[in-house]
A and B are shown apart, each in its own frame.
Chain A
Amino acid sequence: MLLPVIRHGKMLTGFLLSCLLAALISCGPGKHDSQMLRIGLMEEPRTTNVWLASDANSRKVLSLIYQPLYTYDPDTLDLAPWLAASMPEYDPATESYTIRLRHAKWSDGTPLTAHDVVFTVDLIRQFQVPRYYAQWQFVEKTVAVDDQTVRFFLSQPRAIFLTKTLVSFIVPKSQWAPIAQQAGSTKKPLVALMNAKIPKPLGSGPYMLEQWRQGAFLHMKKNPHFFGKNLVICNRRLGPHADAILFKMYSTADVAILALKKDAVDFFWWSIQPGYIDGLEKNRNTKIFLSDRSALYYMGFNVRHAPFSDPDFRRAATILIDKDFIIERVLQGYAASMDSIVPSENIFWHAADLPQYGHGLSREERIQMAFRLLSDAGYTWDRPPVNAAGKVVSPSGIILPSGRPMDAFTILTPPADYDPARATCGVIIQEWLKDLGIPASTRPMSFGALLQRIKDRQDFDTFILGYGQLSLDPDYLNNFFHSANDRPGGWNMSGYRNPEFDRLADASVQAMEPARRQELVWEMQRILMADLPYIPLYNPVAIEAVGTQRFEGWEQMIDGIGNIWSICRVKPLAAPM
């Protein structure tokens, strides 16, 4: 066994080496089709089942297949008809919306009708599909008036119907009805639905799935029946112009960046770190896109117990946190400072004239200001951070107004592998708080454990979290701060309770008229920024890179160029490869 191996080791090695050499010679970097758009992904998509898809990459791929009734206009961020032919017509008497559809087709050539829309809504409601059910829950009845017209009856006026519900996608009845029927007859219908195998998802988008080799690549072909072909929507003539899309997986951003520089991929669909910008700008093959995002990175307090229950304490902490420092250093300047829960990039909903705590002050001035605020509120120190002469010194022994010394507490952050910026922020903020004698220490935790502790067990002090993709509709204010959502598993993680805020929030949910709702949302932000259950920190800029050698015409909008408009509009460069 072994002996011959060793004896012939030389021969075998030679053989193997020559095999490898032959392999090297026989295939250089594969010839490629100039009409094929190559998109890099950070991770492989997990599934083609749209109800299961919870990871960003599956959703990216599926967003090219399944299409919604409406989408966002890239310029104004208003609702723009997509599968629908025009804006919805409201009938106040019956509390219903009527929508007319375009003459669209599924990728197998069959027409997309009002019945598919009704089927989709009924499916979501029947199976109570997570993520989608909450958006359709208040839609009492969906009726196909005729093949091209559908009417939604609402049980009550809900502002999010227009801004969120109508932008969710439609699935084909022909493919899903049998699956739904079969799943419905099992003991665990929801899991059966979510685990149904969909090798060839049938959609109405610009591309359809051709081949998915697990672990290697995903190949999509142009959908010959795409309704948008040559149509002008939002002043944009749609393609798509690329014959096919090839999704390639790179599990580290570094390698993806090298691939961009070497023209092995045309677009890396992932917001990259600022560190890459220099190198990419120097390279003539690549181009950087910087786009605003609708995101929120913040520090949250557990306002259920002292000292975090004290608004003055939270204000003092806010004063100590130098957002500009974090943005300049940790995010290399590629982020916007936030003074509200609603990002300022969300022009319509963001309230102006909110307080900017400690803005422009030096470190010492911040410490002195926070010190004054806290000592006025009754906090004392064994050795105060500001001595009698007004000089900042190293403090010790901070004592609460109640006379008890302040307990050491933790700032929970996601782990560094998940988001290095937040973990670093935690360490920096911890040091700033220590300047005032506040005994904080950072503790990164795995994301699941973190959420469970904060959301379910509510056993925590403070945390730093973020939402990379905050919806444009400010409905999340409700989720985050309404007292009804202060329950185990609810999104009001801070435990913030304010009857005045609740009243405004309830009114805003029902306010169908945008101007009225805007006023309410502004008022809500003012209350929040005075009370500070969350300290908004920063809103990063989406940094994306494309190769310039083969395709052009990327469409930039909020959250970057990875959007349906880009996919429908990028054109191969005329020059032959």
Chain B
Amino acid sequence: MQNMTAKQAPRSYKVQRFLDGWSLFYENLIGKIGLYLLILFGLMAIVSYIPPHVDPMYHPMTGVDPDISYASPPSARHWLGTDNIGRDILSQLLTGARVAFLVGITAAFISIVIGTLLGMVAGYGGKILDALLMRLADMVMVMPSLLVILLLSVLFGQLSIWTIVILIALFRWPAVARVIRSQTLTLKQRPFIDMARVAGASHLRILFRHILPNVLPMALLYMTFRITSAIIVEAALSFLGFGDPNTVSWGMMLQWVWKTGHMFQAPYWLLPPGICISLMTLSFYMMGRAMEEVLDPRLRKIRKTDHAAT
């Protein structure tokens, strides 16, 4: 975070600010829980590379236990049991963490980039540009994004995980753009922007050198919320059977357990992916809330609900 806050400040000041923020964050119970959960999932994602090297049968997608060809409950060989074709659920679950991070962070990052850029441009540009971009944001905002992505997925054949990521990003920028715009509007009134302008800085330079560093913390905060919604959308899509079948995600696991008729027969298969999806979104959400309080407690008023974005 320290690299992103005001560039002009001396290094020691920045470090100090970061440390202050960090201790504030760490004192916050919610932030702490979120952080621990996140570390847990991070570990899962890292560990996920190990099982296939132990034995090819632990490959999450293609490995099958040579002796087990049905859904089996947890055992010494398969700590969380196997799915119906004899694949190890634990290694799928671990891989799922990796996919969730990948989907969540990439989609969130793209949407934050779009949202921040458009928000800055709208706020700085003003007038027609502002009106146009904000109407566009309104429009995208009211779109039932899950349904639209579903529609696209059905119409254009099954989408790959990357297409899904990009689509999620394309539907999730407006809220960010709005907040960044209002921040930019306040920043624009600030004297240092005027000074820069008088000094002959180009619009581009003002935008990226002076405004961007100041709105970045906000953008970063928003990223945590975008991550949760991206994970949920991917899970929901996969759950309905419109995910990428070559990817082992938690939503995909739920789809398998559902469509093969093991829903209520194999709790050891149904519960872990659901719990993981819920906890991972929870951890990002908690992190976000804690960060929010660190950055500015008054900001809570501006944000609108993102939670129900399934």
Chain A residues near B (Cβ < 8 Å): 252-254, 257-258, 272-276, 278-279, 328-330, 332-333, 415-418, 420, 423-424, 426-428, 431, 441-446, 449-450
Contacts and interface: CB of A to CB of B under 8 A. Distances in A.
A504 B147 CA distance: 50
Main DSSP-derived SS at the A contact region: helix
Contacts of A332: 69-70, 84
A253 B62 CA distance: 27
A279 B256 contact: no
B10 interface: no
Contacts of A449: 155-157
Contacts of B262: 275
Interface string B245-261: 11000000001101111
A449 B86 CA distance: 32
B245 A416 contact: yes
B164 interface: no
A417 B254 CA distance: 12
A449 B241 CA distance: 16
Contacts of A442: 245-246
Given A254-B263, A272-B261, A275-B84, A446 B158 contact: yes
B89 to A, nearest CB: 14
B261 A416 contact: no
A423 B245 contact: yes
Contacts of A274: 84, 260-261
A273 B158 contact: no
B140 interface: no
Contact of B258 (A254, A272, A443, A446): A254
Given A278-B265, A431-B62, A446-B154, A415 B242 contact: yes
Interface in B192-215: none
A445 B260 contact: no
B261 A253 contact: yes
Given A329-B85, A415-B242, A420-B256, 14 more contacts: A253-B261, A254-B261, A254-B263, A274-B260, A275-B260, A275-B266, A276-B265, A279-B264, A279-B265, A332-B69, A424-B245, A427-B61, A431-B62, A444-B157
Interface string B151-193: 0011111100000000000000000000000000000000000
B261 A276 contact: yes
B282 interface: no
Main DSSP-derived SS at the B contact region: loop
14 contacts: A257-B261, A275-B71, A276-B261, A278-B265, A279-B264, A329-B86, A332-B70, A333-B69, A415-B245, A416-B243, A417-B255, A418-B241, A443-B158, A446-B156
Interface in B48-67: 61-62, 64
B295 interface: no
A276 B265 CA distance: 7
A445 B84 contact: no
Nearest to B259: A420
Contacts of A415: 158, 241-242, 245
B265 A275 contact: yes
Interface residues of B, number: 32
Query: Top 10 A-B pairs ranked by shortest CB distance?
Result: A417-B241, A275-B261, A273-B261, A445-B157, A329-B85, A444-B158, A276-B261, A275-B262, A420-B259, A254-B263
Contacts of B35: none
Contacts of B86: 329
A427 B158 contact: no
Nearest to B157: A445
B241 to A, nearest CB: 2
B240 interface: yes
Nearest to B262: A275
B155 A446 contact: yes
Contact of B260 (A273, A278, A418, A428): A273
Given A254-B264, A418-B241, A273 B157 contact: no
A333 B70 CA distance: 10
Nearest to A279: B265
Give the residue among B70, B157, B245, B261 with the most A Cβ atoms within 10 A: B261
Nearest to A414: B158
A449 B69 CA distance: 33
Nearest to A417: B241
A450 B264 CA distance: 33
Contacts of B156: 446, 449
Given A254-B261, A329-B86, A424-B85, A417 B155 contact: no
Given A272-B261, A415-B242, A329 B69 contact: yes
B264 A258 contact: yes
Interface string B83-105: 01110000000000000000000
